[in-house]
Amino acid sequence: MTGSFVISLDFELMWGVRDHRTVAEYGDAVLGGREAIPLMLSRFKEAGIRATWATVGLLFARNRTGMLDHAPTLRPAYRDATLSPYPAIETGLIGEDEQADPLHFGASLLDRIARTEGQEIATHTYSHYYCLEPGADVASFEADLASAVAIAGETGHSQQSIVFPRNQTSEAFVAASAGLGVTAYRGDATGWLYRARSGGETTLPFRLARFLDGALPIGPAQVVHAERHGSACNVPASRFLRPWSAKLAAYHELHIRRIESEMELAARRGECYHLWWHPHNFGRNTARNLAQLDRVIACFKRCRDDFGMESRTMRDLALS
């Protein structure tokens, strides 16, 4: 089999950061991410890039009432109550619709993604569900995911791939998602450094080691291969494409070079390279972040021309 280049994006707007960043602190990046999405899509279309957009189910709603109408009756009983988004929805702390509150609604963007050839609309759970946080359980996760599948289905999307928020998962949650029609999920990158952990377990030393491994060969090259895991296909992550910062210009050059070398290795071996990020990562320093993406796409084109590498979605790999 020829090598595969997979891109998955965690499409969440403010829902993905609301428990640790305020609108005042980060709202500009989320809005900038909205502006960056059409620019990413145009690049994907030009290069023939097929990408998986793992979408928080709340973003499908056209208004706040729709969010609540589709919300599950059984909700997560997190020990840290701030992790649940429902109080903010119920008390009117968010706006009524996308025009009033583009930080929390995304239906128009989903329509644009769906109109672009080769793009897969996948799930990121309904409420940005945290599987490994204290208080989470399989029953409330199943209820949450059922809501995500239902609201997506109303707009004609069959969600067959899942990206677990903050990459928190276990065999029990994978099995539960497969029971609701999911055939592919983004698993952990290779090695102990990337094992799934709760927020409390993801300490500063772990985050620092992962950060350094993105530029320097601390761990092995993240060349992966998709494999059947029970009733779902595990498409492991390779690298997080880190957002550009002026303070870390030297780091980013090494980071992109590491991605390029790993992608070429995957192409040579006929294996998989799976890159991921959030659209809001491009919301600041957009031109610089797009320049990084342009280098990645140029590398893919070389790998395609020289070694036959193909762009595939997560669902494509599950079906192959």
Give the C-alpha separation, 241 to 252, whole Å: 10
Residue spans of the chain under pLDDT 70: 191-203, 205-206
Strand partners, 53: 9, 121
CA distances from 55 to 169, 178, 249 (A): 17, 17, 30
Side chain identity at residue 3, one-letter code: G
Structure confidence at residue 199 (pLDDT): 54
Q: What is the DSSP letter of 97?
A: B
Structure confidence at residue 230 (pLDDT): 72
Side chain identity at residue 138, one-letter code: V
Structure confidence at residue 218 (pLDDT): 74
Are 109 and 103 in contact by the 8 Å Cβ rule? The answer is no
E strands, the chain, are: 4-11, 51-55, 119-123, 161-162, 184-185, 227-229, 232-234, 239-240, 272-277, 310-311
Those residues with Cβ within 8 angstroms of residue 107's Cβ, 6 or more apart along the chain or in another chain: 59, 60, 61, 62, 98, 155
Structure confidence at residue 194 (pLDDT): 59
Are 231 and 178 in contact by the 8 Å Cβ rule? The answer is yes
Structure confidence at residue 74 (pLDDT): 97
CA distances from 57 to 38, 70, 181, 223, 310 (A): 20, 9, 15, 30, 29
pLDDT digits (tens, 9 = 90+) for 22-35: 999 999 999 999 99
Maximum Cα–Cα distance across the chain = 56
Pairing of strands 272-277, 239-240: parallel
**Please, what are the domains in the chain?**
4-319 (3.20.20.370)
Structure confidence at residue 202 (pLDDT): 58
